[in-house]
Amino acid sequence: MLSRVKNAITKINSLSKPNKLLILLLVAIIIVAVLISLDIIPKETVFPSSISPPKPEVEYEQQFKEFESEQQFKEFESEPLVYLESGACVGDNQEIPEGQCDENPECTAIGRQFNGCWHMLKGDEPDEGVRDTYKWGLFKKTAAGYESLV
């Protein structure tokens, strides 16, 4: 038996490098096949049934991601502009009474009525009714100042 092993090793050593690599590859494939057939290596490891990425085993990760995306969506939902309180009345003067809106943290916009009186508003987007009521001036408070919405 020992002489057969020595003869096999001698024959392998006499082969060229590509042939040695081919034999080594075949032996490795045979060893893997034997280990799979004996259930030492799970078949799913070598031959996956699907090519899709594995799903996380823990469900709360998916639930957290869904919750997080809902929160981000809610952050971007806009609220209509609504009356907050009365501001200054300036008559025909076109000056915007910025100071009053700046002092009120809830105030996000100011609108001028036909009589020259300004109202402080809160919300994000003006609807058609707000645009009609404040068509003489409607300004949204921004970090850079006031931006016209009409």
pLDDT at 73 over 60: no
55 lies in a domain? no
Both 41 and 86 in a single domain? no
Same domain, 42 and 86: no
Q: 57 in a domain, yes or no?
A: no
* Residue in the structure block whose two tokens are 């259930």: 39
Do the domain assignments include residue 76?
no
110 in a domain, yes or no?
Answer: yes
Number of domains in the chain: 2
* 86 and 39, same domain (yes or no): no
Is residue 69, in this structure, part of any structural domain at all? no
pTM for this prediction? 0.46
Look at 12 and 59; give whichever has higher pLDDT: 12
Distances in Å between the alpha carbon of 95 and those of 24, 25, 78, 82? Answer: 88, 86, 28, 22
Question: What would the mean pLDDT of 17-37 be, rounded to a whole number?
Answer: 90
Q: Please indicate, yes or no, if residue 8 is contained in any of the structural domains.
A: yes
Domain membership flag for residue 53: no
Do residues 86 and 144 both lie within one domain? Answer: yes
**What pairs with residue 148 in β-bridges?**
139
CA angle 76, 77, 78 (to 5 degrees): 110
Residues 88 and 141 in one domain: yes
- pLDDT given for residue 25 in this prediction: 93
Residue 63 resides in a domain: no
Name the more confident of 114 and 96.
114
Confidence of residue 57 (pLDDT cuts 50, 70, 90): low
**37 is in which domain, residue-wise?**
2-46
